[in-house]
Amino acid sequence: MKETIIPIGPFHPLLEEPELFTLKVDGDTVIDVDVRIGWNHRGIEKLSQGLTWDQAPFLVERICGICSTSHPYACVLAVEDILDLEVPPRAQYVRGVVAELERIHSHLLWLGLAGHFIGYNTVFMWAWKYRELTLDSLEKLTGNRNHYAMFKPGGVRRDFSAEAMDFTMKAMDETDKALKMFLGVALDDPI
């Protein structure tokens, strides 16, 4: 058996972030792979050691660009757990709304990318088009399309305005309608 080693990376147009895959191949069969990561290690844990508990959510929010609720949410929950803090119901609702909107935009993003990767770019274009409604709602509600900075140990940093909530309700109705249409189109596509 003749083994060939093919390195892919660490910098390669196919890769979204630097990583090195050392493939061991026999003809067309991949026998083994060695993965090296760490080119983008930012040391968030060490950085956050120098911050107060109030500052840490802003840092951990930046762990991931498209899931900027999950990490601060986990962070403030941990702090609340340690301090035994009770979060007021309205703040819990605000957190819930932000987290759910982020879930919607994240799912649409990945739906679009899944379409893109299989070469079905209509799905990509449409999923990302309708994702804009969610991002607009988040911008109106929190002030940012991403990295909302809403979370604070013990509560949230700001309330929603009535106007933004109206906008979100309408945007969600529209998203719902658009996605139903989109689902029908994508599933019934003769191509």
Choice from 13, 52, 187, 190 touching other proteins (CB under 8 A): 52
Place of tokens 């403030």: 76
User: Is 27 among the residues that bind other proteins (CB under 8 A)?
Assistant: no
User: Is 88 among the residues that bind other proteins (CB under 8 A)?
Assistant: yes
Binding residues for other proteins, rule CB under 8 A, total 24
User: Is 91 among the residues that bind other proteins (CB under 8 A)?
Assistant: yes
Q: Which stretch binds other proteins (CB under 8 A): 70-78, 90-98, 134-142, 168-176?
A: 90-98
**Residue 191: how many CA atoms within 13 Å on its side-chain side?**
7
For residue 73, which amino acid is it? Y
The widest CA-to-CA distance across the chain, in whole angstroms, is 69
Q: Nearest approach, Cβ of 189 to other proteins (angstroms)? A: 35
Q: Residue 158 corresponds to which tokens in the numbers above? A: 């700001």
User: Is 154 among the residues that bind other proteins (CB under 8 A)?
Assistant: yes
CB 9 within 8 A of CB 34: no
Give the DSSP H or E segment for 161: none
- Of residues 94 and 135, the one with the C-beta less far from other proteins: 94
As a whole number of angstroms, the distance between CA 53 and CA 42 comes to 19
Q: What residues from 125 to 144 belong to the interface with other proteins (CB under 8 A)?
A: none
User: Is 162 among the residues that bind other proteins (CB under 8 A)?
Assistant: no
Q: Nearest approach, Cβ of 73 to other proteins (angstroms)? A: 16
- Of residues 105 and 152, the one with the C-beta less far from other proteins: 152
User: Is 159 among the residues that bind other proteins (CB under 8 A)?
Assistant: yes
Phi, psi (degrees; rounded to nearest 5) at 171? -65, -35
Q: Residue 47 corresponds to which tokens in the numbers above? A: 């950085």
User: Is 18 among the residues that bind other proteins (CB under 8 A)?
Assistant: no
Beta-sheet strands, E only, within the chain: 4-8, 20-26, 29-36, 151-152, 155-156
Instruction: Enumerate binding residues for other proteins (CB under 8 A).
Output: 37-38, 41, 43, 45-46, 49-55, 88, 90-91, 94, 152, 154-159
